[in-house]
A = this chain, B = another copy of it.
C-alpha cells in the first residue's frame, strides 16, 4: 500500500509445489541504507525464480554495476528488478527439464530513495511494471481475490497507516481461511513517509495474541452484521 503517510507491506510465507510440498519461505525482502534509501521487495510465483532474483540483487549490492545500492530512483530500482527477473528466466527457461513448467513470478517493489516521494511498483512476470496512484493506492500479487473486497471497501490513499495495516491483516485472514496456498506466519513492514528509516519489520506467527484477537472479533462481528441485516422481503423467495 502506498498511502499519504507512508508504505505498508504484508506478505504471507507459504509456498507449495502441490499439496505434498508445502513449506515456509520468507517472501518479503529488505534493502536499505538508513537516512538514504529503503527498498522492499515482495514476491509471488515460482520460488526458484524469485529467490534467484533476490540473491543476485543482494550479491550485486554495492558492486560496480547498476544495483539497488546505487539506483538513483525507485523507478530505476524497479527496472533493475525487472531486468534481473528476465536474466534469471533466460538462464532457466532454456533448460529442457523445465519445459511445460511455469517459472514465472511477480514482484512488488516499494520504498523511498532520498528526496523522492515514496513509490510502489507492481512487476509482471514479463519484467515490465506499473506504478500505484492516488486512485489505486495498493497492489496485490499471488492469491489476491479472496482478500480484495475489504481493501476495495475500506482502503483509500488517505487511510492512516495503522488502520491500513489492520485492513491488510483482515484481508490476509480472509484469504488464509478460504485458501490453503496462503498461510502464516505473516511478515509485516510499515514505512513512515520521509523517515528514510530502515525498519526491520515484524513477523506475526500462528497464535499471535493480537492477530487471534482481531480474527475472532472480525469473524464474530461479521456474523452479527449479517444477522442484523433486514429480513429478505417475502416476494424475493416465494
**Interface segment, one of A35-43, A75-83, A114-122, A222-230:** A222-230
So how many copies of this chain end up in the complex? 2
**Contact of B170 with A152 in the complex, beta carbons under 8 Å:** no
**Contact of A236 with B219 in the complex, beta carbons under 8 Å:** no
**Complex CA–CA separation, A213 to B230 (angstroms):** 8
Asked, given contacts A174-B149, A178-B149, A210-B236, whether A167 binds B218 with beta carbons under 8 Å apart, the answer is: no
**Complex CA–CA separation, A237 to B195 (angstroms):** 14
Asked, given contacts A214-B229, A214-B230, A217-B229, whether A153 binds B223 with beta carbons under 8 Å apart, the answer is: yes
**Complex CA–CA separation, A236 to B165 (angstroms):** 10
List residues of A (130-158) whose CB comes within 8 Å of B's CBs: 145-150, 152-154
**Contact of A202 with B153 in the complex, beta carbons under 8 Å:** no
**Contact of A177 with B199 in the complex, beta carbons under 8 Å:** no
**Contact of B177 with A152 in the complex, beta carbons under 8 Å:** yes
Asked, given contacts A178-B152, A188-B236, A236-B204, whether A170 binds B210 with beta carbons under 8 Å apart, the answer is: no
Q: A235 in the interface, Cβ–Cβ < 8 Å?
A: yes
Most buried by B among A167, A178, A189, A199: A178
**Complex CA–CA separation, A113 to B230 (angstroms):** 33
**Contact of A177 with B162 in the complex, beta carbons under 8 Å:** no
1/0 per residue, CB under 8 A from B, across A15-51: the answer is 0000000000000000000000000000000000000
List residues of A (170-205) whose CB comes within 8 Å of B's CBs: 170, 174-175, 177-179, 188-190, 199, 202, 204
Q: What 9 new A-B contacts, CB under 8 Å, besides A148-B178, A153-B223?
A: A147-B149, A149-B177, A152-B177, A153-B177, A165-B237, A170-B229, A199-B237, A221-B221, A222-B225
